[in-house]
Each structure stands twice: as C-alpha cells, then as structure tokens.
C-alpha cells in the first residue's frame, strides 16, 4: 500500500482486479495522484515559510513603531528638560546667529523666542572679562579654545528691559552635519557675585567696624609703597592705640566698648581721604595709610585731627566716654623702604608717643632707633655680666619697731658695669625681665643671698632674716622651685632664715598654680612677703587663700605719712589688717624720724628705710651690724 506523506491512504495495483487497459489508467491516475501529493507537500512547506516571514515582518514593524514613538518622546522630553532648566540655553552658528533658544532664555532676557531668533549673540551678551567672545568664535574651525569640554566666559547680559546683569556664558562647540555650532548656557550670577562680595568683605574687613582688617591692611600697605615708589611720592603710616580702651571695656562692658570702636573708626574715616586706608589691626589698635602724600604737612594735619577728634568725649550708648589716642608715624621712603620696616618704626614711634604721656603723636626718628640699639648693647652686656660675675648684692637692714634691733636685711642687686659704673636695679631689671635674663640673674641673687646667710651663721648670727626679691617672670618660671631648693641644699642654711618677696602682680596670673608654688615654698620652711603692698591689682582675697607671712607697706604711703591723712589711713589700715590676720607688716622707705614715730604707733612689726640705713655693700653691712 502506498502511504502519502500527508497520511492519505493510496491504493496498490493489486487492489484493482482489472484488465490491462484499466490497469494502465489506474497507474496513470496513481502517478498523477503522487505528483499532486508532492505538490501539496511543497505548497505546505512554502506556506509555513511565508507565515514565519510574515511574523518576522510584524515583529519588525512593531519594533520600528516603538522606536519611532520613543524618539518622538525623547525629543519632547529633551525639549521640556531644556525648557525647565533655569539657565538660558541657546545655540548659535559660527557667525554668532542665534538658531534655537529654550524657554528660560526668553524669561531671563525678557524677549520673545522670535525676537531672540532674529538676532545674534552680541545682542544679548557683552562686556567680557578676560577671554572674549570674538576669540572663541574666530577659533571655531580648530576648536582650540572651545573644544568639546567647552569654555566659561564672564560677561554681562542685556535683557530687553531693565538693567544688564552679571552673567556666565558656558560655550561648547559641536559639529553637526559638517557645520560648527555652539551650545551656549547663559547663567545669571548676580546672587553668586553678591555672595562673593559678602565673602570678600568677611575676609578683608573687620566685622565690627567695617574697617580693613589686619590682612587687608598689609596688602594695602604693600600697594601704597609700590605705588608711591613708582610715582616718586611719599606714603605715611600712622599707628594708633586707644589710650583708655581697657578701662572703658571694664567699666561700661563690652557692648559699649564695641560701640566706641565703631565711633573711633568713623572719626578716623572722616579724618582722611577716600583713597586712604583705615584699618583695625588689633583689639584697640588701628592703622591709617596715607597714600600719595605730596605735601608732608598733610601728615601732620591728619595726625592732629585724629588726636583732637579722639580726645573729645563721645556719647556712646548713653554714656559720656573719653578715650584719647597715641599715634606713631613712619614715612616711606624717608624712614624705611619696605612695609615690614615701616610698621616696625611706626610701632617704635607709637611706643614713644605713649611714653611721652599719651594723647599725642610722634614721628619716628633715628633717636628712637639709637635708643633701641643702646638697649640691645645693654642686653648683650647684661648677658655677659651674669657670666663675668658683675652682679653684686647690697643689703638694706630691717629693724623691729619695738626696740630698734636688726631683724634682717633685704638683698638688693647692683650691677658693677665695666664702663658705666654701679647700676641700680631700675636700670637693668626691666630689661632683664623683658629678655628673660631675669631667670639667671635671680638664680645668682638667690645663691648669693643664701651664701651671705651662711657667713652670718659662721659668725654666730642666726636670728637674721634674708629677704630676696623675686620678679613675676622669675617666680612663674618652671625652674624657680628647683632653684630655691638647690640654693638651700648647696649652702645648708636654715630655710627659716630665707624670705622671698614677691609683688601682688605675681599673684594674679594663674591663682591655682601660684598657690601650689607658694605652698611648696612654705613646705621648704621659707617665708613669703608681699612687696610694695597696696600698689598692685590683686584682690585682697589672696591673703586668705595664699600662705603669706608678711606685707611690706609700699614706700608711696610712707612718703606722705605725716602730711597726707589718706596715706596715713591706708598705711594704718594695712598694719591693722596684717595684725588681725596674724601677718606681720614692714614699712618701707622710712626717711625721717617723724615717719618712724608714726609707724611705731601702728601695729606694724618692722621698719626699713634710709632713716636707718641705705642699702650697703656686704663689707659695710658687716660694719653696720658690728656697730649695733
């Protein structure tokens, strides 16, 4: 049996019992049938192929449609994004003609799209800083200036109405179908510029007064000097220090102090030209730079105006305040050729003005510099003096009020200068303090003082007290306690024969540290006296908190003891205070018998002064003791 591929059952020859003619026909039919079968099969295969093709076509079409829709959406989206951007965005060709704009462009420039499209870029931006538009456009072919990354230009934009505003123009170059185009982003930078100005103000100007700050002062001084140098004129520097600012602050409080500084700034600004500089360079320190001084008289006039203006009382926050100022003046190029030196000399002049009693102005002159050089020489000599043992101790006796018997001596240092003779402490102690040499000097004095006690002891004198002066810097130095203990150890003296004299000013810096130090000294057995009592700034509370054994009533109260009731009252009050606190008192600087008599009537334990004896060399002190 014949089976067609399509499953149709075919008949075989033997299925037809026939004669030969019939059989031939049947065979032909069957062949035809097979041919048809074959044809049908081919058609069937072709149809399947066509269907697959049609399916593919349908998919392709749907994909194309989708892509088209997406493209449309994306253009819309791009457009809407561009329109939503705050910055103006527009494109131009190489000739600068505007070809497209976004919505913000029309808003920023206050013009319709059509108006903008009919113009060129020069109509909307101008006044370029640094790199300008022409340079960018001319370089369009190469793209050297404005490549793919773009270039940012600072300019101003010109809206159809209203004021031009500062703008930033970011241009990027692109080539479209062989033609160079630029995409331009136009940004209004008014706010940024405003904050830049504000930041600059913060960096260059004093917040309180609006005057130039220290940093800006230095910059302007440099500029003033280089300008004056080029133009062959003079520039002057005036440095000022308010005379009583601290007192105003302490008395009236900081808000009034602040107001005062503002008023001072206004007065200074009114005393100079707009082209000059007023700067606040410290708490109550100001500087004025006078530019382009042709007539030197102007410097004097300004200085006088400032000193006068600030010496007037001012009403600040309802209070009548008087301050006053001292002014130091240095002049370019007469005094110095560079800013640093000019400031240094101005400072010297200011120092001199203050030294001469404040409320005045001083020009820098070479005499001052000579003083400074002399000080330098003295400092070097003093350094050598310590090494060469040129320092000597003099001793001024102290006596008991009752019985006039010696109770001790105060060691007072002298410097036997190789050329200048015997110098008193006032000639070199302040310099020693300033230079730090006081630590070494103080150490020598302490050792020498203890050695003198050793000599007393060897001569059988054991009841005298040796008082040694210790200045604030020496007392506060880290080595001080060690020095005291070394001096005691190396001489082996009884610590109870040593007393250290400190001034009230030593007590105020760091009360806790001071207390610990004083207690350590006490634990050695050494006693503590407060020198020049009544003249310092410490609070009386320290008498309760610090271990103090003696108060030395300052010479200034003793001086007028018999002529001034207030001075007498103060001296008496100190003596009574000591008495009731169980602290002994010694009156310093007694020069007359009347003063001695007055002191003897007070509960004061000791006396010291020229009336009894001047400070004596060691040899003469021994003589004095023997005479007793």
- Alpha carbon 336 to its chain's center: 27
Would you say 62 or 564 has its CB closer to ligand C2E?
A: 564
Would you say 109 or 561 has its CB closer to ligand C2E?
A: 561
Residue from 425, 495, 511, 603 touching ligand C2E (CB under 6 A): that is 425
471 binds, among ligand C2E, Mg ion, none (CB under 5 to 8 A by kind): ligand C2E
Q: How far apart are CA 462 and CA 489, in angstroms?
A: 17
Residue from 44, 99, 610, 623 touching ligand C2E (CB under 6 A): that is 610
The CA distances from residue 467 to 164, 411, 452, 606, in Å, are: 82, 6, 11, 13
Nearest to 233 by CA among 304, 305, 334: 334
Would you say 188 or 410 has its CB closer to ligand C2E?
A: 410
For residue 467, the minimal CB distance to ligand C2E (Å) is 8
User: For residue 325, what are the β-bridge partners?
Assistant: 242
Burial 582-616, CB ≥16 within 10 A → b, else e:
ebbbbbbbbeeeebbebbeebebbbbbbebbbebb
Whether residue 176 contacts residue 153, with contact meaning beta carbons closer than 8 Å, is answered with: no
Which string of x and - marks every residue 180-199 that binds ligand C2E (by CB under 6 A)? --------------------
For residue 591, the minimal CB distance to ligand C2E (Å) is 4
Would you say 350 or 530 has its CB closer to Mg ion?
A: 530
* Token pair listed for 298: 């102007």
For residue 452, the minimal CB distance to Mg ion (Å) is 16
Is 531 a binder of ligand C2E (CB under 6 A)? Answer: yes
- Alpha carbon 319 to its chain's center: 31
Would you say 188 or 588 has its CB closer to ligand C2E?
A: 588
For residue 416, the minimal CB distance to ligand C2E (Å) is 14
Would you say 100 or 444 has its CB closer to ligand C2E?
A: 444
Question: Backbone dihedral region of 429: left (phi > 0), alpha (psi from -120 to 50 degrees) or beta?
Answer: alpha
Residue range at the interface with ligand C2E (CB under 6 A); choices 141-149, 273-281, 421-429, 485-493 = 421-429
Nearest to 267 by CA among 320, 313, 235, 300: 313
Residue 146: enclosing H or E segment and its boundaries? none
Would you say 532 or 572 has its CB closer to Mg ion?
A: 532
Query: Strand pairing of 550-553 and 527-533?
Result: parallel
3-state DSSP assignment of residue 330: strand
Is 424 a binder of ligand C2E (CB under 6 A)? Answer: yes
Is 104 a binder of ligand C2E (CB under 6 A)? Answer: no
Count of residues touching ligand C2E (by CB under 6 A): 23
For residue 432, the minimal CB distance to Mg ion (Å) is 15
* Token pair listed for 230: 């080029």
Beta-carbon count within 10 A of 323 CB: 22
For residue 214, the minimal CB distance to ligand C2E (Å) is 35
Residue range at the interface with ligand C2E (CB under 6 A); choices 78-86, 207-215, 540-548, 586-594 = 586-594
For residue 360, the minimal CB distance to ligand C2E (Å) is 29
Is 469 a binder of ligand C2E (CB under 6 A)? Answer: yes
Q: How far apart are CA 11 and CA 16, in angstroms?
A: 8
Whether residue 169 contacts residue 186, with contact meaning beta carbons closer than 8 Å, is answered with: yes
Is the preceding peptide bond at 333 cis, omega within 30 degrees of 0?
yes
Would you say 281 or 530 has its CB closer to ligand C2E?
A: 530
Beta-carbon count within 10 A of 485 CB: 15
Is 435 a binder of ligand C2E (CB under 6 A)? Answer: no
For the chain, the distance separating the N- and C-terminal CA atoms, rounded to the nearest angstrom, is 170
Is 445 a binder of ligand C2E (CB under 6 A)? Answer: yes
- Alpha carbon 100 to its chain's center: 52
Q: How many residues does the chain have?
A: 628
For residue 517, the minimal CB distance to ligand C2E (Å) is 16
Q: How far apart are CA 387 and CA 390, in angstroms?
A: 8
For residue 402, the minimal CB distance to Mg ion (Å) is 22
For residue 469, the minimal CB distance to Mg ion (Å) is 4
Residue from 272, 287, 429, 484 touching ligand C2E (CB under 6 A): that is 429
Tell me phi and psi for residue 199, to 5 degrees.
-65, -40
Nearest to 319 by CA among 258, 238, 370: 258
Is 535 a binder of ligand C2E (CB under 6 A)? Answer: no
Residue range at the interface with ligand C2E (CB under 6 A); choices 193-201, 273-281, 424-432, 571-579 = 424-432
* Token pair listed for 516: 């610990």
Is 439 a binder of ligand C2E (CB under 6 A)? Answer: no
495 binds, among Mg ion, ligand C2E, none (CB under 5 to 8 A by kind): none
Residues at the site binding Mg ion, with contacts judged by CB under 5 A? 469, 501, 531-532, 588
Whether residue 471 contacts residue 429, with contact meaning beta carbons closer than 8 Å, is answered with: yes
For residue 538, the minimal CB distance to ligand C2E (Å) is 16
For residue 410, the minimal CB distance to Mg ion (Å) is 5
Is 473 a binder of ligand C2E (CB under 6 A)? Answer: no
413 binds, among ligand C2E, Mg ion, none (CB under 5 to 8 A by kind): ligand C2E
Burial 537-575, CB ≥16 within 10 A → b, else e:
ebeeebbeebebebbbbbbebbbebeeeeebbebbbebb
Is 426 a binder of ligand C2E (CB under 6 A)? Answer: yes
Is 168 a binder of ligand C2E (CB under 6 A)? Answer: no
Would you say 299 or 411 has its CB closer to Mg ion?
A: 411
Residue range at the interface with ligand C2E (CB under 6 A); choices 99-107, 286-294, 476-484, 585-593 = 585-593
Is 606 a binder of ligand C2E (CB under 6 A)? Answer: no
216 binds, among Mg ion, ligand C2E, none (CB under 5 to 8 A by kind): none
Whether residue 236 contacts residue 299, with contact meaning beta carbons closer than 8 Å, is answered with: yes
Residue 237: enclosing H or E segment and its boundaries? strand 234-242
Binding site for ligand C2E (CB under 6 A): 396, 412-413, 424-426, 429, 442, 445, 469-471, 501, 531-532, 555, 588-591, 609-610, 615
């Amino acid at each position: 049996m014949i089976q067609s591929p399509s499953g149709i059952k075919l008949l075989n020859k033997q299925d037809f019992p026939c004669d030969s003619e019939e059989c031939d026909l049947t065979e032909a039919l069957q062949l035809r049938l097979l041919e048809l079968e074959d044809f049908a099969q081919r058609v069937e295969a072709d149809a399947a192929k066509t269907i697959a093709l049609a399916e593919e076509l349908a998919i392709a079409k749907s994909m194309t449609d989708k892509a088209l829709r997406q493209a449309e959406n994306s253009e819309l989206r791009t457009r809407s994004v561009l329109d939503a951007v705050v910055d103006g965005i527009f494109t131009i060709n190489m000739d600068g003609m505007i070809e497209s704009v976004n919505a913000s462009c029309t808003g920023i420039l206050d013009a319709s799209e059509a108006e903008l499209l009919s113009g060129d870029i020069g109509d909307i931006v101008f006044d370029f800083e640094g790199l300008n538009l022409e340079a960018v456009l001319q370089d369009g072919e190469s793209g050297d200036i404005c490549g793919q990354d773009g270039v940012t230009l600072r300019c101003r934009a010109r809206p159809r109405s209203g004021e031009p505003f500062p703008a930033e123009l970011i241009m990027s170059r692109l080539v479209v179908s062989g033609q160079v185009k630029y995409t331009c982003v136009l940004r209004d930078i008014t706010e940024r510029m405003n904050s830049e100005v504000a930041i600059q103000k913060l960096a260059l100007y004093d917040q309180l007064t609006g005057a130039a700050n220290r940093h800006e002062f230095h910059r302007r001084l440099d500029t003033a000097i280089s300008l004056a140098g080029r133009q062959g004129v003079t520039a002057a520097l005036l440095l000022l220090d308010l005379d009583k600012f601290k007192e105003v602050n302490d008395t009236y409080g900081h808000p009034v102090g602040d107001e005062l500084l503002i008023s001072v700034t206004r007065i200074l600004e009114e005393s100079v030209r707009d082209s000059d500089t007023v700067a606040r360079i410290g708490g109550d320190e100001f500087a004025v730079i006078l530019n382009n001084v042709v007539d030197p008289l102007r410097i004097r006039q300004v200085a006088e105006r400032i000193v006068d203006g600030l010496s007037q009382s001012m009403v600040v926050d309802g209070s009548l305040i008087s301050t006053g100022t001292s002014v130091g003046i240095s002049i370019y190029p007469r005094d110095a050729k560079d800013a640093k030196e000019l400031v240094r000399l101005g400072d010297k002049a200011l120092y001199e003005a203050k030294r001469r009693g404040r409320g005045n102005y001083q020009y820098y002159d070479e005499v001052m510099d000579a003083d400074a050089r002399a000080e330098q020489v003295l400092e070097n000599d003093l350094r050598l003096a310590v090494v060469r043992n040129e320092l000597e101790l003099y001793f001024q006796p102290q006596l008991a009020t009752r019985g006039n018997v010696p109770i001790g001596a105060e060691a007072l240092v002298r410097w036997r200068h190789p050329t200048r003779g015997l110098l008193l402490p006032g000639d070199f102690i302040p310099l020693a303090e300033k230079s730090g040499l006081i630590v070494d000097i103080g150490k020598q004095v302490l050792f020498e003082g203890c050695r003198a006690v050793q000599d007393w002891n060897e001569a059988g004198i054991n009841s005298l007290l040796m008082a040694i002066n210790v200045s604030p810097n020496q007392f506060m130095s880290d080595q001080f306690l060690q020095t005291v203990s070394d001096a005691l150890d190396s001489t082996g003296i009884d610590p109870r024969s040593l007393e250290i004299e400190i001034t009230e000013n030593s007590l105020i810096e760091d009360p806790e540290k001071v207390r610990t130090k004083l207690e350590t000294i006490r634990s050695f057995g050494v006693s503590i006296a407060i020198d020049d009592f009544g003249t310092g700034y410490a609070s009386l509370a320290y008498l309760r908190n610090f271990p103090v054994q003696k108060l030395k009533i300052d010479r200034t109260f003793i001086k007028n003891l018999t002529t001034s009731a207030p001075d007498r009252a103060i001296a008496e009050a100190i003596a009574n205070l000591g008495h009731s606190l169980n602290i002994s008192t010694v009156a310093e600087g007694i020069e007359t018998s009347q003063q001695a008599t007055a002191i003897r009537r007070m509960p004061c334990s000791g006396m010291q002064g020229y009336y009894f004896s001047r400070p004596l060399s060691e040899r003469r002190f021994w003589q004095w003791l023997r005479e007793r």
